[in-house]
Amino acid sequence: MNAILIKLFATALTLSQVTTHPDAVRTRFDPATDGPEVIRLLRDGCAHMRKSFDIEDINLEDLISTAMEDPTTVAGPSAPKILHGLDINELNVSYKQFCKGENPPNSPFDAKAVIEFYDNAVKDLPSAETLRDKALPGMTRILDGAGKPFAEASEPNGRRVVVPISAVPPLVQKAFIAAEDKRFESHHGIDERGVIRAFIGNLASPGRPAGGSTITQQVVKNFSVGDDVTYERKIREMIVASRLERILAKPQILGLYLNGIYLGRGAYGIEMAAESYFGKPVGQLTLPEAALLAGMPKGPNFYSPDKYPERARERRAYVLSRLKEEGTITEAEMSAAIKSDLGLKSIESARRDSGFYAVDFLNREARTFAGVDSLTAGSFTVRSTINAGLQRAVEEALQDGLANYERSTGRQAFTGPELNLADSVRRIQAATPAPEASPQSAPSVTGARADAVKPDAKTLRSAKIIATPQRKPAWLVALESARPVLYDVRWPMAVVLETGRGGIKVGLSDGRTASLDAGIARGKLQPYDVVRVKVTQGKGGPHAQLRVRPTVQGAAVVIENQTGRILAMAGGFSYPLSQLNRVTQTVRQPGSTLKPLTYLAALNAGLQPNTLVMDSPVTLPPINGTGDSWSPKNYEGSGSGPTTLRRGLEFSKNLVTARLLQGGIASKAPASLKRVCEIALEAQIYAECEPYYPFVLGAQPVRMLDLAAFYAAVANEGARPTPYALESVERDGKPLYTHAAREPVRIGSADRVSFYQLKTMLQGVTQHGTAAALSKVSAFVAGKTGTSENENDAWFAGLTNEISVVVWVGYDNADGSRKTLGRGQTGGHVAVPIASSILQAAWANGVPKTPLKGPTSEARPFIADLAIDPRSGVRVAGGGFIEHFRTSGDGRMADTQYRLVPRETLYAMRPDAEDGDLGGAEDGASVAGDYYGTMTGERAPADPLDPFGDRPPPRSRRAQGDLDPSGQDPYRPWPGQAARSPFGDDGVRRPRRRDPDYLFGEDSGF
C-alpha cells in the first residue's frame, strides 16, 4: 500500500471517528483483529462526508477523474509536499471501496498498515484536560519610578497580556470568527466541510498544503500537540480538539485562541497586539483595527502592515467583506472601514531598548523578596524605582564614554558589521508587486483556514480607493524590520548603500542618506551591511561617523541618597554581549575611591582638614610582627613634602594616606588599619576586611553598589541607605510584596562632624583636585577618582545632595588575567567624563540641582568656619580659604595642624637664601615658589616657623595665574560662604599639575 495512502487513510479513520462517534474515539486498534472495525468506521465516515460534499456542491468523482488524466498535478514536484508520491489509481479504487460500497478485487487497502500507523500516531496522546485551566505564559509589566510603563518581561512566545473573553468586544470576536472559522459556533471541534474544501484545494492547487483547521484545532496545535506539518500531528490534533469541545464551552475556547495566537510585532494575544499596533487595549479597537488584526493569523509576516501595507489592506478588506456577509456590519460601515487609514503606532515605540540590566536585577529582587521564581513565570505588575529617562541617558553616557576611550587611545577594532540585509532586501524587492498578489498564495503560519476565499473584485477595488503612501525603498523597509544584535545600544543603525570610489553612502532609519566616515572599517564594508553611526548635519547634508563596539567594559549606577532607591543601572556596555551585571555581580579594586575611609577615620580621631602630613616616603612595620613591611609610592614615585590633610585627599596622595596610619588615627599602624576596617565593615562596603596595609589604597575588591551606598552615607552625614530597585509586585491586582520604607542606618564608627568635613574635602577633589574636570559644577558635586594597580580599573564615585553616582571602566578578567587601560588612563581621565554626562542627565531628568548643603543642625554646633591659607593650613586674618574645623561645642577648637609634622621639622625644612627648593617637591618645584611664585621678583618676609611663608606682594586678582577655565579661583568658597581670596585680596600662583591617583608602585612588594 502506498505510504501516502496509508497516512491518508489513518487521517480519514480519525476524521470518521470524531465526526460520527465523538464520544467513543478509539486510540488503539489491534492490527490482527480490528481490520473489519476499521473498514466499518471508514465507510461510516465516508457516508457522513458525502453529505458534506452535497452541501458544498463538490463532485469528488469528477475531481478524481481530472486528477487521473494528469497525475503530476497531485503527486508531482509542484504538488503539496504531504501528497508527494500519492498514487491516484489507488486513491480512486479506495474511494470506490469505502464511499460507493464496491468491493474491487485489486483493492490496495491494507488495514494492518493503517492501524499500525494510526496507533503510533496517537501514542502518548496529550489530554484535553490540560487545557481546561490552561495558564498561558504571560508578560510582566514593569513600571518605572513614576508609575509609567518601563519594560516587559516574558518567556519566549509569551509576550502577551491575558484578558478574559468578556473583555473582548463582540465585534472583535466576530471578526476573528468570520476570518478564521465561520462555523465555529456550530461545529464540534472539527469542521468536516472545511476539511473537505482544504483537501480538495490540495488536490486541485499546488503550493503550501491547506489544513482546514478550526479555531479549536488551532488552540490544540498551539498549546498541546505542536505545529509540525505532519499527518501524525493532524491526527492527534483532531482527537484532542474533539475532546476539548466536550469539556470547554465555546467562549472559553475562543478566549484561549484570542489570548494565544501570534499577531506580529512580537505580540501574542489580542490584547498585546492591540497595544503594539494601535497603542490601546482591545476594548477600544475600532472596526477597521479589529479587521486588520483578525486578518493577521493567516500570515503575520506576509500580511505585516509594517512591511507590506498593501497586502494588509487587502486582507483587511477581505475580513470586512466576511463581516458584511455575516450581517455583522452594513455596506456603509464596510466601505468606510476599507477607506480608513491603517492608523499604526510607530514600531520603534513598540520595542524596548534599555534597562535590561535593571530588569535582570529586579528579577533577582523579586525572587528574593516576593518569592516569585521568575518575572516571566506569570503576568505580574512590578513597580520599580528606575528613572526611565535617566536610565537611558546613563546607558548612552557609558557607551559613548567607552567608545571615546578606545578611539582616543587607538584601541578600536572593527570586527565586522552588526548584520547584513542583502537577503531581506531581495525578498522585499521580489514582493514589490504585492497589490496584484492573491492573499490565497500567502505563506501561512497556521495553514489555510476554512472558507478563506478571496474577496470579490468589488471589495478589492474598494480597498484600493485609498491613496497609498509613496512606497518606501526596500532597504528602508528591511532596516525598519531588522532585529539588531545589540538592541540596547544607543547609536543609530545605518545600512550601506554604495561603496564606490566616490565614498561610502549609507541609508538612515529616517529615510535620508548620508556619506559615511568609515574610519577603521574603510575597505571592509559591503552593500547592505548594517553599522552603527553618529549622525551630524553638515552643509551638504547629513554625515555619519562610524561607531564601533568597544572591547573595554564599564558600569555605572545612580542611587538616591536618602532612600537608597536605584534610579539607574548599567551593568555593562551592552546586555546582549554580556549579561554579567558589573554593578552587583562583580568586585573590582576600587583604588583611591576607598581612601575617604582612611580620612574619615583620621577626622573622627580628631585631626582637622588643615593638619599637616608629610607627603614623603614611609615604611610601615609588619602587622603582628609577621610578613613584610610596606613602602607605598605616589603615582610619580616621589613626595612633595608637608601638605594638609585636605590636599592629600584632593590630589590623591598615597604617601599621605599611608602616613595617616602612623599616628594619625591610632598610635600604631596596625591599630589604625583596624579602625579603618571597622568603618568599612559597619558601612557594609565589605563583609570581611583583609588586614593588610594596601587595603587603605583600595587593594581589596569592592562591589559598585556597596561603594555607592557609602558615598550616599557621606552625603547624609553618616546615614547609610540600603540600595533597592523593587517597590512592589502584584498579580491580578493582589499585592505579593511591598517594599517597607526604611530610614538610612547611621554608621556609628564616625560622627556627623567627621562625615561633613569629609564631604567638603571631597568637594575639593571636584573643584581643583583629581576630578577638576567637574570644577564648573563643583558647587553641586563632591567625589573621588580611583585607579587600581597598573591602571586596570578607572573609577569615579561622587555625590550631590540627592544622589550618588559610581562609574567603573576596565577590562573583564574572565581568563584570569587583567588588561591595563594604559599608562595615564586614570579615573580622572576615563571615568570622570562619563560621570559628568550622567550628572547632567540626572539634573535633566528630575533630580534637583542644588548647592551642597552645609552641616545639619546636629553637626552645626560642633563646627567652626575659619579662614586659612589653603597651602600651609595656617589660619589667616582678612582673607583666605574657609575651612571647617571640629570644635567641642563651646567654641573651643583642637589645633592639630602640627600634630603629625612638628614645627621644628618644618623649620628644619625651611629653604635658605642659597637653596630655595625643598627636596622632593612635586615636579621638582619649590613648595614656596611653586604655590606662591611672585611676578615681581620681590619676596615677602619669611616666618621662621613657616616654610610656606614666602608670600608675594599684594597684586590685582586679574594677575592670578591659575584660575580655572571659568575664571574662578580654584579655592573659591563653598556655597554659602563669603567670597574671600586665599591670598588676601590679590595673590598670584602658577598652575600645578594634578597628581593622578594610583594604588601603589611596582616596587612596593605587593
Q: In degrees rounded to 5, what are phi and psi of residue 315?
A: -65, -40
First to last CA, the chain: 83
Question: Could you report the per-residue pLDDT of 473-510, keeping only the tens digit for each?
Answer: 999 999 988 889 999 999 999 999 999 888 999 999 99
Which of 103-117, 459-473, 526-540 has the lowest average pLDDT? 459-473
- 566 and 592 Cβ atoms separated by less than 8 Å: no
Long-range contacts of 345-349, Cβ-Cβ distance < 8 Å, separation of 24 or more: 345/276, 345/277, 345/278, 345/279, 347/265, 347/306, 347/480, 347/481, 349/279
Give, in order, the Cα–Cα distances in Å from 375 to each of 360, 367, 618.
Answer: 9, 8, 55
Residue 967 has pLDDT above 70, yes or no: no
pLDDT of residue 952: 39
H or E segment to which residue 735 belongs? strand 734-738
pLDDT of residue 814: 62
Cα dihedral 994→999→1002→1003 (10° resolution): 100
Count Cβ atoms within 10 A of the Cβ of residue 148 and give its class: 0-12 exposed, 13-18 middle, 19 or more buried.
exposed
Residue 225 has pLDDT above 50, yes or no: yes
Strand, coil or helix: 867: strand
Alpha helix positions (H), 147-286: 170-180, 192-204, 215-220, 231-247, 250-260, 270-278
CA 41 to CA 10: how far, in whole Å?
11
Count Cβ atoms within 10 A of the Cβ of residue 407 and give its class: 0-12 exposed, 13-18 middle, 19 or more buried.
middle
- List of residues 6+ apart from 477 with CB closer than 8 A: 307, 428
Residue 899 has pLDDT above 90, yes or no: yes
Q: Cell digits for 441?
A: 498564495
- List of residues 6+ apart from 118 with CB closer than 8 A: 10, 13, 14, 29, 235
- 353 and 344 Cβ atoms separated by less than 8 Å: no
Residue 980 has pLDDT above 50, yes or no: no
- List of residues 6+ apart from 375 with CB closer than 8 A: 140, 142, 153, 359, 362, 363, 366, 382
Question: Could you report the per-residue pLDDT of 130-148, keeping only the tens digit for each?
Answer: 998 888 888 899 999 999 9
CA 81 to CA 331: how far, in whole Å?
41
pLDDT of residue 136: 84
Which one-letter DSSP state was computed for residue 207? S
Question: Could you report the per-residue pLDDT of 299-349, keeping only the tens digit for each?
Answer: 998 999 988 899 999 999 999 999 999 999 999 999 999 999 999 988 765
Question: Could you report the per-residue pLDDT of 618-665, keeping only the tens digit for each?
Answer: 999 998 877 789 999 887 667 889 999 999 999 999 999 999 999 999
- Check residues 287 and 925 and name the one with the higher pLDDT: 287
Which one-letter DSSP state was computed for residue 795? E
pLDDT of residue 441: 39
pLDDT of residue 919: 29
State the CB neighbour count (10 A cutoff) for residue 360.
19
In this prediction, residue 550 has a pLDDT band, given cuts at 50, 70 and 90, of very high
Which one-letter DSSP state was computed for residue 797? E
- Check residues 396 and 159 and name the one with the higher pLDDT: 396
Three-point CA angle 153, 158, 164, nearest 5°? 105
Mean pLDDT of 101-105: 74
Count Cβ atoms within 10 A of the Cβ of residue 184 and give its class: 0-12 exposed, 13-18 middle, 19 or more buried.
buried
Give, in order, the Cα–Cα distances in Å from 161 to each of 166, 282, 660.
Answer: 14, 11, 61
- List of residues 6+ apart from 546 with CB closer than 8 A: 414, 516, 517, 518, 519, 520, 521, 531, 532, 533
CA 651 to CA 869: how far, in whole Å?
17
In this prediction, residue 379 has a pLDDT band, given cuts at 50, 70 and 90, of confident
Which residue in the block uniquely carries the three cell numbers 555581580?
585
Mean pLDDT of 916-939: 28
pLDDT of residue 230: 85
Count Cβ atoms within 10 A of the Cβ of residue 443 and give its class: 0-12 exposed, 13-18 middle, 19 or more buried.
exposed
pLDDT of residue 981: 33
Distance of CA 112 to the CA centre of its chain: 58
- Check residues 967 and 408 and name the one with the higher pLDDT: 408
Which residue in the block uniquely carries the three cell numbers 572591547?
551
| pTM (two decimals) | 0.77
Which one-letter DSSP state was computed for residue 777? G
Question: Could you report the per-residue pLDDT of 28-84, keeping only the tens digit for each?
Answer: 999 999 999 988 898 888 888 777 666 555 455 554 555 444 555 444 454 555 555
Which of 47-61, 209-223, 271-285, 508-522 has the lowest average pLDDT? 47-61
In this prediction, residue 734 has a pLDDT band, given cuts at 50, 70 and 90, of very high
In this prediction, residue 993 has a pLDDT band, given cuts at 50, 70 and 90, of very low
- 149 and 141 Cβ atoms separated by less than 8 Å: yes
Q: Cell digits for 877?
A: 586674618
Give, in order, the Cα–Cα distances in Å from 453 to each of 179, 183, 229, 321.
Answer: 10, 15, 22, 11
Three-point CA angle 267, 271, 273, nearest 5°? 35
In this prediction, residue 815 has a pLDDT band, given cuts at 50, 70 and 90, of low
CA 66 to CA 105: how far, in whole Å?
23
CA 482 to CA 421: how far, in whole Å?
8
CA 670 to CA 569: how far, in whole Å?
37
Three-point CA angle 663, 668, 674, nearest 5°? 105
HSE toward the beta carbon, residue 992, CA cutoff 13 A: 28
- Check residues 761 and 43 and name the one with the higher pLDDT: 761
* 513-517 vs 541-547, strand pairing mode: parallel
Which one-letter DSSP state was computed for residue 237? H
Q: Cell digits for 39?
A: 473498514
Q: In degrees rounded to 5, what are phi and psi of residue 784?
A: -145, 135
Which of 368-377, 440-449, 853-862 has the lowest average pLDDT? 440-449
Give, in order, the Cα–Cα distances in Å from 387 to each of 244, 434, 565, 806, 851.
Answer: 47, 44, 10, 16, 22
Which residue in the block uniquely carries the three cell numbers 510603563?
149
CA 948 to CA 557: how far, in whole Å?
42
Mean pLDDT of 171-178: 96
Mean pLDDT of 871-897: 90
Give, in order, the Cα–Cα distances in Å from 256 to each of 223, 260, 281, 993.
Answer: 9, 6, 17, 71
- 982 and 646 Cβ atoms separated by less than 8 Å: no
Mean pLDDT of 699-715: 97
- List of residues 6+ apart from 926 with CB closer than 8 A: 911, 916, 917, 918
- 686 and 705 Cβ atoms separated by less than 8 Å: no
Q: Cell digits for 491?
A: 547609536
Residue 588 has pLDDT above 50, yes or no: yes
- Check residues 272 and 346 and name the one with the higher pLDDT: 272
pLDDT of residue 585: 96
pLDDT of residue 7: 87
Q: Give the chain's mean pLDDT.
A: 83
Q: In degrees rounded to 5, what are phi and psi of residue 588?
A: -140, 155
Give, in order, the Cα–Cα distances in Å from 38 to each of 191, 192, 770, 783.
Answer: 22, 19, 89, 85
Q: DSSP string spanning 377-407?
A: SS--EEEE---HHHHHHHHHHHHHHHHHHHH
CA 411 to CA 820: how far, in whole Å?
12
The amino acid that residue 214 corresponds to is T
- Check residues 150 and 960 and name the one with the higher pLDDT: 150
CA 92 to CA 104: how far, in whole Å?
11
In this prediction, residue 459 has a pLDDT band, given cuts at 50, 70 and 90, of low
Per the document, the length of the chain is 1006
Question: By percentage, how much of the chain surpasses pLDDT 90?
Answer: 61
pLDDT of residue 43: 85
